[in-house]
Structure 1
C-alpha cells in the first residue's frame, strides 16, 4: 500500500491545531483514538459517497468493503446519504427549509439527481407533489439536455 505524505501531514497539522485549542485542558480528552478514527471514517465515507454520486455499490467497491458493511456504517454514523450526494459548496447555496423551498433550488437538485423527482423530493424531505408544483411554478423543462 502506498503512503500519502500530504494526508499524513494534514492529519498531524489538524491534531496540532486541536491540541492548541485545548488551552491546557488535555486531561479532559478521553477516548481520543476512537474519536479520531470515527471522524476520519465519516470523512472517508462521505467523500467517497459524494464522488460516486451516492451509488452504494460503486462506493463499497472503491472502499474495498461489502455493501452491507457500508450500509451499516452509514446507519451507525447517521450519515445523511441524500445530502451527502452534494458537494458542500452546492449545499451552502440551497435552502432545505421545507416551508420555503425556492424553485431555483429545486432545479439545481433536479439537475444533480438527473431529473429524478422521487430522489429530489427525498432530498428536501417533501412529497413529490410539492416538487411538481415547484417545477410548474418555475417552468422547469425536465427534458432539456436529453
Structure 2
C-alpha cells in the first residue's frame, strides 16, 4: 500500500475515533445580557437570561438563566438564521440558544430573581436537558 494512502487512512481513523458532541439547541424569544451591580455600584455578576413570550399575560417570562463565564458566551448575530446565538459548554453539554431579539441591561437588582415572584423556578420550562451524543467507532 502506498505510504500516502496509508497516512490518509490513519488520519481518517484518528478523526473518526475522536468523540464528537452535538449541541443541545433551544429557541427562545429574547436573550438578555444583564450586568448586575450592588447598591454601591460594584459589579456583582454578568448573566444571560432567556425569555419566552407569554401571550396570555402580554409579557416576556423567564425560562432560564446562566452566569456568563467567558466572553465567548455573549450572543452573536447569526446572519444565516436571522437570529442571535449564544454558544457555550454548560456543564457536560454543549449548548446553543437562538433568539430573535437581544437586550443588554445594567441593573442594581436581579431581574431573574424578581421574576421568581411571578413564576417560581419549579414552573419554568428551562432549557433542553439533552445529554451529549458521541459517535463511537466500532471495534473490529
TM over 0.5: no
Structure with greater strand share of residues: 2
Query: What is the TM-score when the length of structure 1 is the normalising length?
Result: 0.19
Structure with a larger share of its residues in helix: 1
Normalised by the length of structure 2, the TM-score is: 0.20
Higher relative contact order (CA 8 A, sep 6+): 2
